[in-house]
């Protein structure tokens, strides 16, 4: 089967808000969400949980999330923060 044929059968992911990390944050308990928000609000520096460690932890818990989603959300460069329709899930109203 050719790549073109295989591409026809690929189930498309839905674009837009929220990003994969925000979807996870919306699905976990308040305790887990609070703990994850603290980690995501802390830049990856020596002495903190690294992006790789965070990605591995989420994967070990059964969340199918890309490493780039962790990196982009933590750096506030994911679709939650970027673009004309961007709105972080914790914001009260959309940015204009």
Q: Which tops the pLDDT comparison, 14 or 51?
A: 51
User: Tens of pLDDT along 30-60?
Assistant: 999 999 999 998 876 667 899 999 999 999 9
Domain positions in the chain are 17-96
At 94, is the pLDDT very low, low, confident or very high (cuts 50, 70, 90)? very low
Q: In a 10 Å sphere around its CB, with 0-12 CB exposed, 13-18 middle and 19+ buried, how is residue 33 labelled?
A: middle
Predicted model pTM: 0.69
């Amino acid at each position: 089967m050719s790549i073109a044929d295989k591409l026809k059968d690929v189930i498309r992911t839905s674009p837009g808000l929220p990003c994969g990390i925000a979807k996870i944050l919306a699905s976990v308990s308040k305790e887990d969400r609070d703990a994850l928000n603290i980690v995501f609000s802390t830049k990856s520096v020596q002495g903190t949980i690294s992006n790789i460690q965070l990605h591995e932890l989420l994967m070990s818990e059964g969340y199918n999330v890309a490493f780039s989603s962790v990196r982009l959300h933590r750096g506030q460069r994911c679709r939650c923060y970027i673009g004309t329709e961007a709105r972080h899930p914790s914001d009260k109203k959309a940015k204009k």
